[in-house]
Structure 1
Amino acid sequence: MTLVTKIYRFALLGILFFCGVKAQQIGLMEYLSDPFEMEYVMELVRQHLVLVGSSMLMATVIGLGAGILLTRDRMKKHTATVMYILSLGQTIPSLAVIAISLSFLGIGTKPAIFALTIYSILPIARNTLAGIQAVPPGITDAARGIGLTPFQILLAVELPNAASVILTGFRIALVINVGSAPLGFLVGAGGLGDLIFTGIDMMMPVKLLAGAIPTTLLALVGDYACELLGRMVIPKGLRLQNS
């Protein structure tokens, strides 16, 4: 475990401890001890996870597919154009993306999932492209020399060697997605934004934190889950090389 990782984890423990103390001071624990309120919060967490899971699934398919296609010889000339189009999703404010999607998808989960998908594609596509491009040409030439097809080279050589970079992009997209999902409340998509914006409107810090703290915890859990996923999908030799 590197020094940076130790500092990162120590900082996370410090943040969690501080949040726990503040939660006790303002009465958040008492609020959540009410079984009816706790059931309501868990339902909002479920809605939040549906928004994040659905949008991340679509963003991963689109981003990974786009990144792979742009590394193929026939598509390389279109790389700059496609990446510019994908980057437009993050140059537009998230509220504007939701408002635009609301105009043709209506109220509910659809515009929220659409906006979150748009916001999450770029990191995955960009890191997929960068990761495959960073694979040493000698490795792919050797694979081609032993008779592997382009598809076999992609699966057996390029993706495993680029897995660390691709997973970093997925990790960034996931954290952005979890943090942006509360805005779905503005279009009737539910989620933890219900508590956050209700707490702001009614000037009730308890409700605000009842939505903000679970959102933060979901982002931290997602980040840690990506780290565990990396240990499973990235070959051990490549992990040791990267460290």
Structure 2
Amino acid sequence: MWIFDPANWTPGSQSPLPIQDRLGEHLLYTFIAVLIAAAIALPLGFYIGHTGKGRQFVISFTGAMRALPTIGVLVFLTMVLGYSLVGTTANFLGTMIALVLLAIPSILAGAYSGLESVDRQTIDASRASGMTEMQILTRVEIPLSLPLIIGGLRAGVLQVIATVTIASYVGLGGLGRIISSGIGLNDYDEILGGAILVTILALLVDGVFALIQRLTATPGVGGAVETGRTRLRRRASGPLATVGTPIHEGNGP
């Protein structure tokens, strides 16, 4: 199989090889794009989730952003930036902006929906105990909503990993360069190998984020709520089934 051919992993191989170099570029582009997107989306999502302001706007905004054709945005930005910047710099900036725009909606949605999922009674109790709004946000809301916040990051990262392949269309690296090279050479083994590498990378990253979500979940929060409700139902229904004996009208002592 093409992936397991040692020649494709050997340093000094012709473009677009070796594989490890393209893999490193793919991860680098993903990391930069997600880092910038998180720096923009997380504070905004925390503000909206904590205050409740601008929620409808964000829902509309994220829906519109998801509909943007990433490759169209990439080509447009590359052309615009190319008038004032050197080719490689313009290509890199255009790619990063396109990927950041792709990642923001998922991260933003995860941040504000995570904070909105926190029980209002818990927040009111924290406020009544004298905690400031910043303390409530950092010590109560964010810790309790971490699984959903990480879920938003998880979705954003996976979208970026899958889309970084288009960077090869503007002359950058990444695993997409292997795919585009295979298309140009009509080498179906190389095309399939590049696609499998992207898939494996996405699955591995997804597994890591799934593990982080599990580890950051607050133990017993969901179970405690359900147990409390069950107990209330039992307390409400139990006495009704056991109090006294039926009284039948018209029966004497």
Q: Which structure 1 residue ranges, 5 or more long, are not aligned?
A: 1-23
**1:81 Cα deviation from its structure 2 partner:** 2.2
Instruction: Give the structure 1 partner of residue 166 of structure 2.
Output: 183
How many equivalent pairs are there? 215
Rate the CA distance shift 1:208–1:97 in 2: closer, same or farther, 3 A.
same
> Take 1:239 and 1:54, find their aligned partners in 2: how far apart are those partners?
35
Moved more, 57-66 or 34-43: 34-43
Instruction: Give the structure 2 partner of residue 194 of structure 1.
Output: 177
What is the Cα-based RMSD across aligned positions, in Å?
A: 2.3
> Take 1:239 and 1:190, find their aligned partners in 2: how far apart are those partners?
45
> Take 2:170 and 2:81, find their aligned partners in 1: how far apart are those partners?
10
Rate the CA distance shift 1:184–1:122 in 2: closer, same or farther, 3 A.
same
1:186-225 residue CA offsets vs partner (Å, 9 max, x unmatched): 1122111111111112110122123212211110111011
Instruction: Give the structure 2 partner of residue 29 of structure 1.
Output: 4
Equivalent pair of 1:195/1:208 in contact (CA under 8 Å): yes
Alignment of 1:44-123 (within 5 A): 44-73=22-51, 76=53, 78-106=54-82, 107-123=90-106
Alignment of 1:4-15 (within 5 A): none
Indicate whether 1:171 and 2:171 are aligned: no
Indicate whether 1:209 and 2:181 are aligned: no
Rate the CA distance shift 1:155–1:207 in 2: closer, same or farther, 3 A.
same
* TM-score where L is the length of structure 2: 0.77
Indicate whether 1:229 and 2:225 are aligned: no
> Take 1:234 and 1:206, find their aligned partners in 2: how far apart are those partners?
42
> Take 2:223 and 2:78, find their aligned partners in 1: how far apart are those partners?
47
Equivalent pair of 1:31/1:206 in contact (CA under 8 Å): no
Rate the CA distance shift 1:59–1:129 in 2: closer, same or farther, 3 A.
same
**1:113 Cα deviation from its structure 2 partner:** 1.3
Equivalent pair of 2:8/2:18 in contact (CA under 8 Å): no
Equivalent pair of 1:127/1:165 in contact (CA under 8 Å): yes
> Take 1:31 and 1:91, find their aligned partners in 2: how far apart are those partners?
41
Rate the CA distance shift 1:33–1:183 in 2: closer, same or farther, 3 A.
closer
Rate the CA distance shift 1:170–1:121 in 2: closer, same or farther, 3 A.
same
Rate the CA distance shift 1:228–1:110 in 2: closer, same or farther, 3 A.
same
**1:108 Cα deviation from its structure 2 partner:** 2.7
Letter in 2 for 1:143: S
Alignment of 1:144-155 (within 5 A): 144-155=127-138
> Take 1:66 and 1:207, find their aligned partners in 2: how far apart are those partners?
42
SS in 2 for 1:189: coil
Q: State the percentage of identical aligned residues.
A: 25
Moved more, 215-224 or 29-38: 29-38
**1:241 Cα deviation from its structure 2 partner:** 6.8
Indicate whether 1:41 and 2:41 are aligned: no
Equivalent pair of 1:109/1:188 in contact (CA under 8 Å): no
* TM-score where L is the length of structure 1: 0.80
Rate the CA distance shift 1:72–1:159 in 2: closer, same or farther, 3 A.
closer
Q: 2:118 aligns with which of 135, 145, 152?
A: 135
Q: Which structure 2 residue ranges, 5 or more long, are not aligned?
A: 83-89, 226-253
Letter in 2 for 1:194: R
SS in 2 for 1:155: helix
Letter in 2 for 1:30: D
> Take 1:222 and 1:191, find their aligned partners in 2: how far apart are those partners?
16
Rate the CA distance shift 1:34–1:125 in 2: closer, same or farther, 3 A.
closer
